[in-house]
Structure 1
């Protein structure tokens, strides 16, 4: 099979705007695409992989009843936050959970074992790259500036940190996700400002992640895809948006920003450190022009950045999946 005829697997939920944008770019380049969600497996998706002694990799098929791709022909994999496998209701517990874990491991690990196939991003690397405390260490090693931070369940340690910072503080989740408050309601736990005068024994109840509150001229959602770096500029016009722009989209002004060479170099080092090709980085730019790294989401959203700014992020995804890195 010629390189041009080899398919790209797009593994994403059915309603995912970023995946739609990447598929459109691949279609424009006449690259065959097989898109599916892991939630289709094993009930609507068939996977068969065979490995024989002395063979370089796995062979077989993945079939969703409309399209079929041969594993040995897969050109690249775009793994975009798919759902987990869905097991038939006829399978009782605890066997249903066991079956779900087996299906999850099979489809991910079999695809990950395909030799020489580029990923955006391999979830095995994503899991490690998503750890926020370790990100600060990696970012520092790669040449970025990071905020002073503490993770603690000690009120005394939190008060001592606040005294050392001697300025505004914020508190943020260590692990992303939403809070299930019942009745099908889920709330985002946002970054918020805290007053050290309020620190009390409630800090003992769990780990808390405190940081110095960095002064911001504006913020940047920096998208890195392969060798491409895109800067989406976010200027906030409310206190809520200035603390966590996800809480007040109505008070954000969007633009593009040139990423300094030293920051772009540090970002590329960061990606190489984790062995990933994509990242959605959050930076603050201070009134003096200093870029401060907050965190990187290796499966972060970016469709809204392209839609608001016109930056060709989806095209960069397509080029990478086709084998072009610059």
Structure 2
């Protein structure tokens, strides 16, 4: 692969985390192409040939042309969903979206020789909470007692047994109000009286609340692990108060680093953002691992160190074994 081989950043335009990494790659004069599958087919044209010699061809956006054989690394961030041309009926539009997902998606997931951070199929596999928690327990993390159910009685019994419990969504799915405003489903405390027939409508995740004195965000990039202690949240879900929190970069406890490594290897991940709570006794409890978590909201120099580690992974892709 030539020195001019590019890094492909698969993400939507409004992505501060991807922007920060692209800026660092530009500073290093590493060729970068941003491609958002949500722009296909209106603003992306693809021609890929496959034969016994492998894949070759190109993907063209409004401003860049990517040689599919000359992609050194792929930074898979947060692309928009596949779309269909306007004016189609529901059935035709659905068919076009699925063809795009399995066609363009398959091409982007099989670029010859590319190093993925992370491979989209690895991300997908690691986003299922039941699999995530079961794997985490096997890797030695402490997991709070958890219930996954659409059974109203089971949920109430769990809340009586482990109260207070918290509810958290199983996935950060887009959710909008009736007037089109984007809404966030936060982590909230729930008691037996809050768990009514609505529980039966879909799957829910309930977990014993950790009486924490601090939170940890552990960001792993390849062999590098950055642990940030977070304090000062006035509510259960610290993501609601980024600006009012204190952040300190600390040494990663050895047992935690070992479990992080095992977990990444189990899913074939290069990057992972782990969330923990530290209880009154100092025990560290795993809440979740986001295989594609954000980090651009950290203050400097924390953000800069993670950006450097990611840029190193993408720039020096030939030094890493593809996952």
Could you tell me how far apart the structure 1 residues matched to 2:230 and 2:174 are? Answer: 23
Deviation at 1:197, TM superposition (A): 4.7
CA RMSD of aligned residues (A): 2.1
The one of 116, 123, 126 aligned to 2:123: 126
Q: Deviations over 1:259-315 (max 9, x none)?
A: 111111111111111111111111111232221110111122111125574451111
Could you tell me how far apart the structure 2 residues matched to 1:73 and 1:5 are? Answer: 8
Could you tell me how far apart the structure 2 residues matched to 1:197 and 1:94 are? Answer: 43
Could you tell me how far apart the structure 1 residues matched to 2:160 and 2:88 are? Answer: 57
Deviation at 1:7, TM superposition (A): 0.8
State the match for 1:254 in structure 2: 247
Aligned pairs for 1:228-307 (under 5 A) are: 228-238=224-234, 240=235, 243-305=236-298, 307=300
Contact 1:145 1:293 in 2 (8 A): yes
SS in 2 for 1:175: coil
The one of 306, 309, 317 aligned to 1:313: 306
Change in Cα spacing, 1:66 to 1:179, as seen in structure 2 (3 Å) is closer
Could you tell me how far apart the structure 1 residues matched to 2:179 and 2:232 are? Answer: 32
Deviation at 1:72, TM superposition (A): 1.0
Aligned pairs for 1:21-170 (under 5 A) are: 21-52=20-51, 54-55=52-53, 57-165=54-162, 167-170=163-166
SS in 2 for 1:22: helix
1:5 and 2:4 correspond:
yes
Contact 1:232 1:305 in 2 (8 A): no
SS in 1 for 2:29: coil
Change in Cα spacing, 1:27 to 1:172, as seen in structure 2 (3 Å) is same
The one of 152, 158, 173 aligned to 1:177: 173
Could you tell me how far apart the structure 2 residues matched to 1:156 and 1:127 are? Answer: 31
Deviation at 1:218, TM superposition (A): 0.7
* Gapped regions of structure 2 (runs ≥ 5): none
Could you tell me how far apart the structure 2 residues matched to 1:235 and 1:318 are? Answer: 28
SS in 2 for 1:280: strand
What TM-score, normalized by structure 1, do the two folds share? 0.90
Change in Cα spacing, 1:92 to 1:237, as seen in structure 2 (3 Å) is closer
Change in Cα spacing, 1:325 to 1:116, as seen in structure 2 (3 Å) is closer
Could you tell me how far apart the structure 2 residues matched to 1:38 and 1:201 are? Answer: 39
What TM-score, normalized by structure 2, do the two folds share? 0.91
Deviation at 1:97, TM superposition (A): 2.2
Count of residue pairs the alignment pairs up: 319
SS in 1 for 2:14: coil
Could you tell me how far apart the structure 1 residues matched to 2:196 and 2:285 are? Answer: 30
Contact 1:306 1:313 in 2 (8 A): no
State the match for 2:206 in structure 1: 210
